[in-house]
C-alpha cells in the first residue's frame, strides 16, 4: 500500500501501514533519514506535518479505490492546502524511534479531504496533532529535480536566507528528488521551518492557528516571507513569489 505514495527517498515518511479502513489510517516510520555521522540528531518538528500529509495521501487514495473514483494504476499528486488548530508537543524523540501517524476522516468533498491527524511515538506520547486539508490533482510532469540525493552530503539545517528585500526561502534542495520525482516543489513543512528561522536560527513552530497554501511553490522561483504582524510569540505572515508578487501562502503561527 505504501507504493501508492509519489514521494521517494529521502522524503518518504511512511514505512508501513498498520491499520487501514475508510474511517482511519495508521502508519509507522522510523526517524532515520538524517546524517547519522553528526554528533547531534536533528529532526525538525515541522517534518511531523509531512508524516501527517503522506498518511492523509495514502488514506485518501485508499478511499478513492474503495469508492471506484480511480483504479490502482492512477497516480495523482496530493497537495497540502490548509492546516488548522495544530500543536507541536514538547516530547522529544531520538534516532531510530518509531513514529506513528493516524488520520481520521472529518469530511470528503472529492477531490478534497479533511482529516484530523495525530503523530506520536512509542509509549503513546503525542508529538503533533491538528486538522489538515489536502487535494488530489493530476500528476502532470513539471520539473524534474537535478539536486543531489545524497543525504549525508546535502542535509541542510537552515531554510531561509536574507537579502536587501528581506527573508526568503532557500535550501540546497536535498529533499527535491523525493518531493516529487516528477513534480519537484517545495514542501509546506520546510517552508514553515524557514519561517520560524526568520526569528532566530534555532526557532521552531509550536502552534499553528491556521495556514492556507494557495499556490504550488517551485524550486526555480524565489519566495519571500512577509511578516504582517507580530504579537508576542504569535506571527501573522505571508509568502510572496518574487517574480509575480503573487500570494502563495498565509497564516498565523506561534514560534518558540
pLDDT per position as a tens digit, 145-178? 555 555 554 456 788 899 999 999 876 567 777 7
Residue 209 cell numbers, joined: 492557528
Q: Do domains 2-137 and 151-255 have the same CATH topology?
A: yes
Which residue shows C-alpha cell 492556507? 212
Q: What are the pLDDT digits (tens) for 48-104?
A: 999 999 999 999 999 999 999 888 888 777 889 999 999 999 988 877 889 999 999
pTM above 0.85, yes or no: yes
223 has a pLDDT exceeding 60: yes
Residue 107: pLDDT band with limits 50, 70, 90: very high
Contacts of 146 (CB under 8 A, 6+ apart): none
Domain boundaries, the chain: 2-137, 151-255
> Helix, strand, coil shares of the chain as percentages rounded to 5?
15, 40, 45
- Cross-strand bridge partners of residue 207: 87, 254
Rounded mean pLDDT, 229-242: 90
CATH of 2-137, one of 3.40.50.150, 3.40.50.360, 3.10.129.10, 3.30.300.30: 3.10.129.10
Decide: 226 and 240 in contact? Cβ < 8 Å: yes
Q: For the domain bounded by 151-255, which CATH number is listed?
A: 3.10.129.10
243 has a pLDDT exceeding 70: yes
Amino acid at each position: 500500500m505504501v507504493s501508492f505514495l509519489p514521494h521517494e527517498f529521502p522524503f518518504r515518511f511512511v514505512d508501513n501501514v498498520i491499520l487501514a479502513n475508510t474511517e482511519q489510517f495508521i502508519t509507522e516510520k522510523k526517524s532515520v533519514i538524517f546524517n547519522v555521522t553528526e554528533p547531534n540528531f536533528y529532526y525538525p518538528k515541522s517534518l511531523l506535518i509531512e508524516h501527517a500529509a503522506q498518511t492523509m495521501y495514502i488514506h485518501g487514495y485508499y478511499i478513492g479505490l474503495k469508492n471506484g473514483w480511480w483504479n490502482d494504476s492512477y497516480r495523482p499528486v496530493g497537495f497540502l492546502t490548509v492546516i488548522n488548530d495544530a500543536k507541536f508537543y514538547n516530547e522529544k524523540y531520538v534516532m531510530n524511534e518509531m513514529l506513528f501517524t493516524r488520520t481520521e476522516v472529518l469530511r470528503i468533498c472529492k477531490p478534497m479531504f479533511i482529516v484530523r491527524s495525530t503523530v506520536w511515538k512509542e509509549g503513546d506520547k503525542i508529538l503533533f496533532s491538528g486538522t489538515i486539508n489536502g487535494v488530489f490533482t493530476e500528476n502532470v510532469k513539471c520539473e524534474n529535480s537535478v539536486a543531489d540525493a545524497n543525504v549525508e552530503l546535502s542535509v541542510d539545517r537552515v531554510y531561509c536566507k536574507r537579502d536587501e528585500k528581506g527573508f526568503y526561502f532557500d535550501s540546497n534542495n536535498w529533499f527535491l528528488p523525493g518531493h516529487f520525482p516528477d513534480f519537484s516543489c517545495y514542501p509546506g513543512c520546510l517552508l514553515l521551518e524557514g519561517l520560524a528561522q526568520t526569528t532566530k536560527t534555532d526557532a521552531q513552530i509550536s502552534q499553528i492557528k491556521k495556514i492556507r497554501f494557495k499556490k504550488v511553490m517551485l524550486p526555480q522561483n524565489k519566495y519571500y516571507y512577509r511578516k504582517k504582524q507580530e504579537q508576542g510569540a504569535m506571527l501573522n505572515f505571508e509568502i510572496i513569489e518574487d517574480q509575480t508578487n503573487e500570494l502563495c501562502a498565509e497564516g498565523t503561527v506561534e514560534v518558540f
